[in-house]
Structure 1
Amino acid sequence: MTYLDTLGQNAKQAARLVRRLKASEKNKALQSMAEALLQHQDQILEANQKDLAKGQANGLSTALLERLTLNESRILGMVNGLKQIAGLDDPTLKTDSQWINRDGLRISRRRVPLGVIGIIYESRPNVTVDATALCLKAGNAVILRGGKEALESNQAIILALQEGLSHTNVPMTAVQLITDPSRELATEFMQLNQYVDCLIPRGGAGLIQTVLKQATVPVIETGVGNCHLYVHRAADLAMAQRILLNGKLQRPSVCNALETLIVDASVANEFLPTAASALKEAGVEIVGDEAVLALVSEAELATDIDYASEFLDYKLAIKVVDSYEQAIDHIDHYSTGHSEAIITNDYQTSQNFLNDIDSACVYVNASTRFSDGEVFGFGGEIGISTQKLHARGPMGLEALTSYKYVIEGEGQVRG
């Protein structure tokens, strides 16, 4: 039996047990894992320092190092996240609908766990905790495959979580980590159909495309966010600058950060010099078209690759357009279907934008940084789906379930 077969069999057996647990038992497990994280905080931070040292030696970018970094505040955030998820309603107790058909059969559509969920992710050790908590709360077992850059941190976190589970009715094998970071094993994991029911990649475009191309396990595509902000000719420009700076600067290394700014030509002369000055003061590199270069000193000429890129860094592409239609065409062409926003005081234009943009999250006069399961009121998220089947947008607990039909009769047979 191979290493992955062992993990898969363990997870499958654990999933059978977890799906039968009461909500109170799962909540106790989440609380116990939260306590264990605090108890193992020093070991986790020590392991994280080893990962950071290796990352710096291997030339990881500032953005990736930021995503990799743990501190007491971030660990406390993970602890509070576990407790918060424990307080959420159990999605597997939900009946979506119920009716009696013409044959007198009572038919119910009930929420059920997906089973065994595989998570492949990069850099961010907090995903180890978030994914575990959400999967268990929804009644699933989880197999985690983090990036090699966070291996020490993830191993320390998993040891703490499993110790927490050891004091509960949830089997420790409901949460497992692949500790071999080889690409060959990752490919084998993506094709572990006999054990894994669903695969969720979280990371950059390269990782997600690799999973989509190589996986035979069903995949939920998440995360790549080439997010756009369109400053319409009827925009409040002070509001537009505030939202622009928040979207680009508040946390540039995440998928809901802004990557492209589109500005109507009629307000470009007034808006761009001031906005660009604030961006450059914050250390943002600006690339744009010829109209941008004429208004923004030190800006470089943008390429098609720039307009298609998720930078996850202090870099922004800017496009000046002559009309609303040009803005929509640009977004349609380059969007990854994540989050797009318009700044406008024209009501009809705002409603047109909401209808014309085919992305998971579409905003009027607000920052794309709000694309987040916790912010939306889901209590957390496993990722942001940019596809349309099964789940779309921030994926909370319900997205980690499917449903089954339960049919109750009194001896009916079909004539």
Structure 2
Amino acid sequence: MMAFELNIDGLVGPTHNYAGLSFGNVASTGNARVTANPKLAALQGLAKMKALADLGYAQAVFAPHERPAIGALRELGFAGSDAQVLARAAKDAPELLSACSSASSMWTANAATVSPSADTADGRVHFTPANLNNKFHRSIEHPTTRRLLQAMFPDENRFAIHAALPAQMHFGDEGAANHTRFAAAYDRPGVAFFVYGGSAFDASRPAPKRFPARHTLEACQAVARRHGLRDDAVVYAQQDPDVIDAGVFHNDVISVGNLNVLFHHQQSFVDQPRVLAELADKLAVLGGEFVPVEVPSAQVSVGDAVRSYLFNSQLLALADGGMRLVVPEECHKTPAVWAYLQSLLASGGPVRELSVFDLRESMQNGGGPACLRLRVALNDAELAAVNPAILINDTLYARLVGWVEKHYRDRLGERDFADPQLLAETRGALDELTRILCLGSVYPFQLA
């Protein structure tokens, strides 16, 4: 039975904007109130999906969420018709209207944590949608995320789609942005690698001073138990709190892994030598040889890593056993990073090819190639059980490009959120999208 990795990219939503909502994400706050181009953002993301599908990678699309989130505004006390809710929120609490209009679901690395069937006790692929409890605008995502996952992976005999963890700070869960998996092959049992920012119950652990530690050890442990992972095949590591304070809000801003390779910065984890040794030992028991590629601080500073999103890259397997590194254009524009990448390609190590993409609209909001995608290791029988309408091919790509061109605005600012016409445009677009992707009724306006 064949096995491979399916990359599921978030389709940027019609309300893509720069409201600067993500404290701790330097790019997000630094570009607050810049006028956004939702159409360009969506087309840039689709171009990446199509290019990787053309290279032979299994590629799928994750639909955006309904925004503005009228239901969330009603829960916060705004009443009346939809137009009245928007008008009252714009007048009395514009910051809440901005939060409820965010297109942040585009970053599907935060959608869920995924464990493949080779690792789980019941032999199913397990998904736990992230509660994203640290930021209000993201904490409202998980109910729709779960419905979307259920529509994408409908076979309950092969896929388990859990509810999110309790929406409370002790179990702050940021999804696959803080999780990866190492294995000799996608269908072989692997080692689950969970990275957390801090512990809710153990105050003795080091903690960042400037920015919040969004993901907790307790959330990692709960997901591992829920997915039926073996204790001897799990490694927990704490992010270096100093790099969190430097803008590394998720682990995927400082490291990325695939199969047996970990591409990471010298300052990624607390007690880093121990973490790497534990990963090597546990993977060796499962028949794999762990290959760490550590980037020295002397060659790439943490600041340059954050500015360029070097580590918010995709590490994709090549047929010859090597790896392709997918990076944003900002890496090319950062001299120290680009020089390092040239030396990396010439080193004879596992990273043998480099692909560069223009994702400026996403990058300005603090999300690069890795933020945009959720990885799911599948065997061919499981792939056959996936909703086929979400898989990128020439036909679907052309149809989605036409859909974006038809429905998206090319300029969007905060004042537009109160426009009832934007809500009507978004709902009309999403209603059409659910038919294109054969999702059924997944949005609140469809379920009302």
TM-score (ref. length: structure 1): 0.28
| Bigger Cα Rg | 1
Please identify which structure carries the higher helix content: 1
Higher relative contact order (CA 8 A, sep 6+): 2
